[in-house]
Each structure stands twice: as structure tokens, then as C-alpha cells.
Amino acid sequence: MANCQTYLNFTHRTENKTHYMRSIQFREALREAMSEEMRRDNSVFLMGEEVAEYNGAYKVSQGMLDEFGPERVIDTPIAELGFAGIGVGASMNGLRPIIEFMTFNFSLVAIDQVINSAAKMMSMSGGQYSCPIVFRGPTGSAGMLSSQHSQNFENWYANTPGLKVVVPSNPYDAKGLMKSAIRDNDPVIFMESEQMYGDKGEVPEEEYLIPIGVADIKREGTDVTIVSFGKMMKVALAAAEELAKDGINAEVIDLRTVRPIDYKTLIESVKKTNRMVVVEEAWPLASISAELAYHIQSNAFDYMDAPVKRVTCRDVPLPYAPTLIEASLPNVGRTVEAVKQVMYQKA
């Protein structure tokens, strides 16, 4: 643990006892989750490019080679299809691999193993083989990296039966969800943001798990529901603060997982607010936001006072120039405008 961590007292609301919360980075929360699970279960190991000797491309696995050794923290060649396949085979034979992609853009090289092997193994073997494996790494735009390194494939993987897809937005959720993902007997796609690894948040010292498939209301409100996940939660929460200045009380929900989706929490929120805006970094066609709009308008139509609005990336490969990136990605201004449209107010 970093010496500079801040310790704060925190009272657990249900058990009525004091815990200690530390402010740690997103990368540290992931490292703690993986390390704790590797100490608990010798079948867990980490494999990927530069995860060992270099301490991870984003320093998520810093120090893990020293603790667990080269048989459990394994550097690989630049061969995603190969080491993803090794991971799938290992998981079928009783191990619990964590496979790191340096970015999920590179997972396209390994997508056959993820979709045609990992996701389908339980079904095609008639339940004889499970595939407890975690594929993890950064997703989405990381700044001026241009089109090939700036894509969001959450909806691609969420479209595949047999996979679970997790996209945390803060260190607390990242740790609790990573521990649950490692223990899950199904293959889990765990997607992070390269721009969030340095973000700090309060995380308990004590062990905790967050169940996969449960959304979280990050901000309660009465006038409109804003739904997002991952890095775009920053946009959603900032937009809610801006809207509050105009007297609009927005409820903000973090999906946390996009397969399975916690539709119940969304519908209960819409019953209260009667309006919904979905913020998503991916392209608009066949996106998570499109699925949410369909589901809410099909199952909560009688509660809606306006159609669901979506704020997504523009339908173009992400540009390199920062001004064009700003014009392409969802932002606070576009989100505020969408909310005012469903409120029938002028932006």
C-alpha cells in the first residue's frame, strides 16, 4: 500500500461497526482484488503482455511478480489469440486465469477464443466444462490515440450469451466487482478505463464483494433518470450538478454491469422520475443505450412522460485531434441538453 493513503473512519450501516476506508487509486483497487484472490486461491493466476517484469502497462500488477512468482504472474508474447486460448484451456482444467489485454482493441485478435470458446464451452459441453476466466483491460478513448486504440466493445461482448460484462466507474466498485468476477464460474469480461487508473476513491480495508448484475444509484433524484456506466459516469454526475443549478433534480444510476443488466432498478427509477437519458461512450447503432431505450419504453411505457434520449459517441471512428475528440464523445453539455429535451425545456 502507498504510504500516502488517507485513512478515514466509516460506520457500516447494516452491521453497525467501524471500518477503515482508504483513499486509493483505481489501479491499486484492482491490484488488491487480484492479489487477495490469488492469496486465497492457488488456482488463480495472471497472464498477459508486460504484466510481470514491467509491472503492467498501467502498473495495475505492480509488485505481483515479486509476491507470486513467474508461474502465477506470466508475461506473454504479443499474441492475444494464443494466450487467450491458453487461458480458456487452463480454465477448463480447474484453474482460474485472469487474462489482461493491454487494451480491448487488441482483444479483437483473440475474439474467437472469447466468443467461440469461452462463452460457449458450458453449453456445448452439456455442462461438463465450465470456464471460470476473467478477460480484463482498458476500454474506450484514452486521449489522442486515434481510431484503432479508442473503441468501445462493451455492447459487442454483451451481445454474447455465456459472457458476463462488467464496467466499473470507481475504485470501490472495481475492487468488489473484480473479486466477484474472479470467483464466478462463468467467463467475465472486465472493462476498465485507461483514463481512470489514477482516479482515487475510498475503499475499505476489510474484504467485500459486489454482486455482478446489480446497478447502483449514485445520486438520488426526482425529475429525470440519467443512466451510464464506466468512465461516462463522470459525465453523468457532472451533468446532474449542472442541472441542479437550474432546479432539475436528476437521479444518476451506474449500471456497473452491462450483462446482465439490472432492469428492475432502472424501471423503479423511471416510475419515480418519468424520464430517462442514457449516456454511453460507444457508437449509437446496436449499443447498450439502444437496448435500454427499447426495454424501458416496452416495459415502463405507462410511466414515461417523454421518449428515452441517448447521448453517445458520434457515428465516426474517433479522430486524433483533441478538438474533434471533444466534438465526438458524450460530454456534460450534450447530456444537459438531452435532459432539458425530455423535460420539454429550452436548452
Q: How far apart are CA 35 and CA 19, in angstroms?
A: 21
Q: How far apart are CA 28 and CA 31, in angstroms?
A: 5
Alpha-carbon Rg for the chain, nearest whole angstrom, is 20
Of 80, 100, 154, 281, which residue is the catalytic one?
80
Q: How far apart are CA 17 and CA 11, in angstroms?
A: 6
User: CB-side exposure of 103: number of CA atoms within 13 Å?
Assistant: 16
Q: How far apart are CA 199 and CA 190, in angstroms?
A: 17
Q: Is 242 a catalytic residue?
A: no
Q: How far apart are CA 140 and CA 195, in angstroms?
A: 9
Pairing status of strand 250-254 against strand 216-219: antiparallel
Ramachandran angles phi, psi of 258, nearest 5°:
-110, 0
- Map 30-73 to HEC letters: HHHHHHHHHHHCCCEEEEECCCCCCCCCCCCCCCHHHHHCCCCE
Of 49, 100, 149, 251, which residue is the catalytic one?
149
Active-site positions read 80, 149
